[in-house]
């Protein structure tokens, strides 16, 4: 590992002080999770795919409220599976467009049917008593998708619902952009997400710990256009910055958060 990669890893880990709000499950502090909270958490995670995370969680909570019918049920997956495929598809507008893409909403139906058939409609049974890797395998099999599954496992670790061996980052657009620019000088393409996984494995024995600081850098500084490089704590170790900025103009800017 080069000196710059070591510095990038150290700075990211030093700046891992922001907490992600994973909904109600975040506030349990490792206490046992109810079926309702677990199901709401899972539906929000599944909608956090190819669009803004904050909006995904807002829409996910709204959809969960609708499916729970004002608190009359804690079994939202059973409610979804009670519709025919055609009925579920037709409710996209009625449910307030829960995803930017209809297919992002549509895919909840087969997942609900699998979840009810295998786990009795209780998301907790996917991960309770399992290691992070075992939970990841079950999420893959459920159809959650590779990157979303990694995010779910990481979130469960953050919320102390599972413990054990390390997990990988979710190689979303923010992480692909930040790591790609920092290491190669250009964004890593979506088709090369495995590059992000491998890089973070090289940077840390526990890659998931890099997910939040990388996401935060992408959200706050390393924007798709007009990136705020002068205020990014990674800049002096970033290939993109070295290629696009005059290093002589940085002497009066703090290198890292104090």
Domain boundaries, the chain: 3-19+169-249, 32-158
**What would be the CATH architecture of the domain defined by 32-158?**
Orthogonal Bundle (1.10)
Tokens of 171: 């190689």
So what's the pLDDT on residue 247? 47
- Whether pTM > 0.95 for this model: the answer is no
DSSP state of 242: H
| pLDDT, block means (10 residues), the chain with 258 residues | 82 81 87 94 94 90 90 86 97 94 96 97 96 95 94 92 85 94 94 92 91 93 94 94 68 38
So what's the pLDDT on residue 79? 96
CA torsion through residues 173, 177, 183, 186, sign: positive
Class of 3-19+169-249 in CATH: mainly alpha
Rounded Cα distance between 25 and 47, Å, is 16
Tokens of 233: 């704590």
């Amino acid at each position: 590992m080069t000196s710059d990669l070591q510095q990038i890893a150290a700075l990211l880990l030093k700046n891992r002080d922001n907490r992600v709000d994973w909904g109600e499950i975040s506030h349990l502090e490792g206490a046992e999770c109810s079926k309702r909270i677990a199901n709401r958490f899972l539906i929000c995670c599944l909608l956090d795919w190819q669009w803004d995370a904050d909006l995904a969680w807002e829409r996910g909570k709204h959809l969960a409220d609708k499916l729970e019918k004002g608190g009359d049920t804690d079994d939202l997956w059973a409610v979804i599976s009670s519709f025919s495929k055609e009925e579920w598809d037709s409710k996209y507008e009625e449910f307030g467009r829960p995803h930017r893409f209809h297919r992002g909403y549509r895919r909840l139906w087969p997942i609900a049917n699998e979840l009810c058939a295998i786990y009795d409609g209780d998301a907790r049974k996917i991960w309770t008593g399992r290691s992070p890797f075992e939970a990841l395998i079950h999420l893959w099999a459920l159809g959650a998708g590779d990157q979303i599954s990694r995010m779910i496992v990481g979130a469960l670790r953050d919320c102390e619902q599972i413990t054990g061996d390390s997990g990988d980052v979710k190689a979303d657009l923010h992480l692909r952009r930040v790591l790609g620019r920092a290491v190669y000088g250009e964004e890593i393409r979506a088709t090369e997400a495995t590059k992000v996984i491998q890089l973070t494995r090289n940077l840390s024995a526990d890659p998931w710990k890099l997910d939040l600081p990388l996401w935060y850098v992408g959200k706050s500084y390393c924007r798709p256009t007009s990136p705020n490089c002068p205020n990014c704590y990674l800049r002096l170790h970033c290939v993109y910055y070295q290629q696009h900025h005059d290093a002589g103009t940085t002497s009066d800017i703090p290198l890292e958060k104090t």
